[in-house]
Amino acid sequence: MVYRETAMKRVLTVAGHDLSNGAGITKDLEVFSCLGLHGISIPTSFVVQGPKGVEDVVPVGMPVFSQMLKRAAEDMDVSGVKIGVLADAPYVNEITGWLKGLSGIPVVLDPVIEAKNGTRLLTDAGLKAVVEQLFPLITCLTPNIDEAERLLGTTIDSVEAMERAARAIGERGPGTVVLKGGHLEGEPVDVLFDGRNVTTYAKKRAEKTVHGTGCMFSSSLLSFLVLGYPVAEAFRETQGLMEQLISRSYQPSANGYFYAFPAAITGRATERRRG
């Protein structure tokens, strides 16, 4: 007997491949799976990394990247796209053209610029292309404070400044902005700007440094959007899931980052039909 789940939705992650499976496309795939979605992936780069940080970033050949995008569009009928590490402007150009052929699906962009240890993951030319080309095409942008400061050229040092920054970034094109406040001193607060209103979510600061939280946040948010949750509710559900992932993380190497284990969390989401 062959089992076919024809109703399962397919979601695509386009990001870097972290060999340690702490972040990037492999971690996105784990999140998709634990939320009942079929994840497919296209790497932009191979990230030489372990629990103690990034050592090198090697971009995927452009012909192969283009071929994979074409195949995904023709064969997989994706219901949503998460974008992470894009490495350089040519990859931004390529995925911009590809996204213009899609319509009616959520696209979440995590504008990854640097790794935790400061290794650059997106060139200046790539960042410029992201702002000019991708911002108008995406559903939601999920920067942290450092990334938002880079995008706006300003300092963000309070929740009020976060709210202003989220609005300012939203005016550049993204329909929705989630500004993550984990890098802010004091108790962390995340800010959601949905194009009209601002919502804040206060949380406790984690007592450990977990690798890949930005990747998991953006892939979780995309998953809930694909499952039919309104933006504000998808934001809240993502926060709850992240708290579970962080609390259940483990440390594979002494003195290194902690790693989350999405497979330990199953059956959390049920699809909500849009009216």
Residue 275 predicted with pLDDT over 50: no
The one-letter amino acid at 55: E
Per-residue pLDDT band for 252 (boundaries 50, 70, 90) equals confident
- Give whole-number Cα distances, 110 to 4, 85, 143, 264, 268, in Å: 32, 8, 6, 24, 23
Report the alpha-carbon distance of residue 6 to residue 274 in Å, rounded. 19
Pairing of strands 53-59, 189-193: unpaired
Number of neighbouring beta carbons within 10 Å of residue 202: 11
Q: Is 40 helix (H, G, I), strand (E, B) or coil?
A: strand
168 Cβ contact list (under 8 Å, min separation 6) = 152
Burial of 75 (0-12, 13-18, 19+ CB in 10 A): exposed
Q: What is the dihedral of CA 193, 162, 245, 235, to 10 degrees?
A: -10
In the prediction, which pLDDT does 19 show?
Answer: 85
Question: Closest Cα to residue 215, out of 142, 127, 264?
Answer: 142
Q: In the structure encoding, which two tokens stand for residue 147, read together?
A: 């990334």
Q: How far is CA 137 from CA 49, 107, 131, 134, in A?
A: 31, 8, 10, 5
Distance separating alpha carbons of residues 72 and 19, to the nearest angstrom: 23
Query: pLDDT tens-digit profile of 5-56?
Result: 557 899 999 999 988 888 899 999 999 999 999 999 999 999 887 667 778 8
Q: Is the pLDDT of residue 109 over 60?
A: yes
Where are the domains positioned within the chain?
10-264
Displacement of CA 40 from its chain's centroid (Å): 14
* Packing angle of the helix pair 24-34, 213-226 (nearest 10 deg): 40
Mean pLDDT score, 216-240: 95
Identify the band that residue 264 occupies on the pLDDT scale cut at 50, 70 and 90.
confident
| Residue 114 CA, distance from chain mean position | 14
Q: What's the chain's length in residues?
A: 275
Q: Please give the average per-residue pLDDT across 116-135, as a whole number.
A: 90
The domain 10-264: what is its CATH number? 3.40.1190.20
Q: Which residue has the higher pLDDT, 1 or 260?
A: 260
